[in-house]
Structures are given as structure tokens and as C-alpha cells.
């Protein structure tokens, strides 16, 4: 099986969020970047498990600058066969999806796997766009995936429950919790990652469809109103009269 896994960077969850250039740019100062958890823990690890049991390769693809190489090497250390970096700043989701689709188009991948969203833009956009650009089936927010021959069986979230579906390869899947367990790279993996192939590919030209015009922070929260434990019941009156939510 030949699998392409999209890997992107994301600020570590505990990063302080701040903006620069008159609130038009994310301030990267002091921010530690990690592999987007959904890409790493779920898409990448499940792709590795599948090729470990039935053979094949896992190629990672990242749209990004040389600054993204540490996270690409981490994916290689976890076990990916090789990596591709599309040499461009990831601007909007459509730009990223178009680069991934253009690369994947004629390479005969059986599956393109991605995380369900990134933890910075929370868009859930790239997977569906890649599927459309490649005219492939797309199963999103998948929590289980098995492949037998050319058929994939996938469990995915639907409104109010889960659904088990079957689809023929090739297809695009976005992955969520349940797919796989996190893997920590070992020393051998880290050493091997240094010499694994990392191809740098020029981007294709794509029009930008969206732009973040301005970032802002939520207004400061007013102090929490404390209710004495021996009068907990008064909460109900407050929720009715003051907060007006019940």
C-alpha cells in the first residue's frame, strides 16, 4: 500500500497566543512548534501500522518553508519512509490542498490521510478540498480504519452517533481520536530520520481565496462569581435571573 500523509506544524497547545504587525500576523516569538496532533497521533501512526502489517510505504507531505523541517524529521523518526516538502509558505487551506493534490495526482497513492483539523486554524478544510481536487471519495472524522485488498472499512462520526462505511481505494480520510495510539520516536528512528529522503518540490501556482485580515483576543473575562457551597442552590436563581440561560 502506498500512503500519503499530510503533516503540518502547529503551535504547542500551551503556547501563549499573541499577534504582531498591527494584529495581522501570529507572533511566533517563543512559540514551540509541534506536529499537528491529529496528523501525527492518528493519521501518521495508523498509516504506519497498516504498512507494517501489509507492506508498502508512507510518504509525508508538508507545504512549508525550511523552518518546517524539524517537524518533518520528527515524522520520519516516528517511521515514515520518506518526505516531501512543497517549498512555499502555507497561506490558505485551498492553497495547501491544491499543492497536495497537484503532487498526489499521478503518483498512484492508495490513500491520502490527514488529521481532522489543525489546532491553530481549526478549519477542517484541507481533506475535503484534496478529495474534491482529486475527485476521490472522502471519509471524514474517522476513528477506525482497516484495509483488506482494495476495500477500506472505516468507522466515522456522524451527527448523534457513528457509522461504519466501506469504500474502495483510492480515497482521502481525515483522522480523529481512536485511530491509533501516540508513538514516541526512539533513538534508532531519530538517527535514521537524518538520512531519510526529503524531497523539496516547487509549488504550483494557485489563487488565494481567503486571507486573515485581522486577529484579536477575546475580551478579558470578568471575575468568577463565587457561590458559597452551603448555598449551592442559589445558583439556579442566578442562572435564571442574571445569566438568563435557564
Partner 1 sequence: MAILIFADTSNGKVSKNALEAASYGAKVASSLGTSATVITFGNADAAALAAFGTQGVTKVLVNRSLSNADSRQISKLVVGAAEKEGASVIVFSHDLIGRAVAPRVSARLGAGLVSGAIDYPNTSAGFTVKVNLFSGKAYGEIEVLSEKKVISVLPNSVGLANAGGSASVEDFAFDAGASSVKVKEVKKNEGEISLPEAELVVSAGRGMKGPENWGMIEELAKELGAATACSRPVADIGWRPHHEHVGQTGIAIAPNLYIAVGISGAIQHLAGVNRSKVIVVVNSDPEAPFFKAADYGIVGDAFQVVPQITEALRKFKASHN
Ligand X SMILES: Cc1cc2nc3c(=O)[nH]c(=O)nc-3n(C[C@H](O)[C@H](O)[C@H](O)COP(=O)(O)OP(=O)(O)OC[C@H]3O[C@@H](n4cnc5c(N)ncnc54)[C@H](O)[C@@H]3O)c2cc1C
| Paired sense of beta strands 2-6 and 111-115, if any | parallel
Residues 77-96 interacting with partner 1 (rule: CB under 8 A)? 92-94
Name the residue among 108, 128, 93 with its Cα closest to residue 206: 93
Interface pattern 19-38 for ligand X (x via CB under 6 A) = ------------------x-
157 scored as a contact of partner 1 (CB under 8 A): yes
Residue for grid cell 502489517: 53
Calpha distance 104→130 (Å, rounded): 9
Cβ nearer to ligand X, comparing 75 with 131: 75
> Applying CB under 8 A, which of residues 58, 80, 97, 114 lies at the interface with partner 1?
97
Q: Calculate the alpha carbon distances from 233 to 228, 229, 230, 236, 239 in Å.
A: 10, 9, 8, 6, 11
Rounded to a whole number of angstroms, the minimum distance from the CB of residue 7 to partner 1 is 17
Choose between 35 and 139: whose C-beta lies nearer to ligand X: 35
Closer of 122 and 195 to partner 1 (Cβ): 122
Please report, in angstroms and rounded to a whole number, the separation of the first and last CA atoms in the chain: 54
Q: How far is the CB of 172 from partner 1 (least distance, A)?
A: 10
Interface residues toward ligand X, by CB under 6 A:
13, 37
Amino acid at each position: 500500500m502506498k500512503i500519503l500523509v499530510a503533516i503540518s506544524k502547529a503551535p504547542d497547545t500551551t503556547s501563549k497566543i499573541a499577534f504582531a504587525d498591527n494584529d495581522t500576523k501570529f507572533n511566533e516569538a517563543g512559540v514551540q512548534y509541534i506536529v499537528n496532533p491529529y496528523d501525527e497521533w492518528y493519521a501518521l501512526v495508523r498509516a504506519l501500522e497498516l504498512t507494517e502489517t501489509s507492506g508498502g510505504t508512507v510518504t509525508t507531505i508538508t507545504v512549508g518553508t525550511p523552518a518546517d523541517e524539524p517537524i518533518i524529521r520528527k515524522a520520519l523518526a516516528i517511521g515514515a519512509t520518506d518526505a516531501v516538502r512543497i517549498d512555499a509558505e502555507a497561506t490558505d487551506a485551498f492553497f495547501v490542498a491544491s499543492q497536495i493534490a497537484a503532487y498526489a495526482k499521478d503518483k498512484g497513492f492508495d490513500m491520502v490521510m490527514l488529521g481532522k483539523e489543525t489546532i491553530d486554524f481549526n478549519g477542517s478544510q484541507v481533506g475535503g478540498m484534496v478529495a474534491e481536487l482529486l475527485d476521490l471519495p472522502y471519509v471524514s472524522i474517522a476513528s477506525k480504519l482497516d484495509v483488506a485488498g482494495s476495500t477500506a472499512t472505516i468507522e466515522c462520526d456522524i451527527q448523534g452517533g457513528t457509522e461504519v462505511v466501506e469504500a474502495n481505494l483510492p480515497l482521502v480520510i481525515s483522522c480523529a481520536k481512536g485511530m491509533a495510539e501516540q508513538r514516541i520516536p526512539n533513538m534508532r528512528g531519530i538517527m535514521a530520520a537524518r538520512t531519510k529522503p526529503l524531497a523539496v518540490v516547487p509549488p504550483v501556482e494557485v489563487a488565494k481565496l481567503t486571507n486573515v485580515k485581522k486577529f484579536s483576543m477575546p475580551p478579558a473575562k470578568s471575575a468568577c462569581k463565587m457561590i458559597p457551597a452551603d448555598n449551592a442552590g442559589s445558583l439556579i436563581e442566578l442562572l435564571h435571573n442574571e445569566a438568563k440561560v435557564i
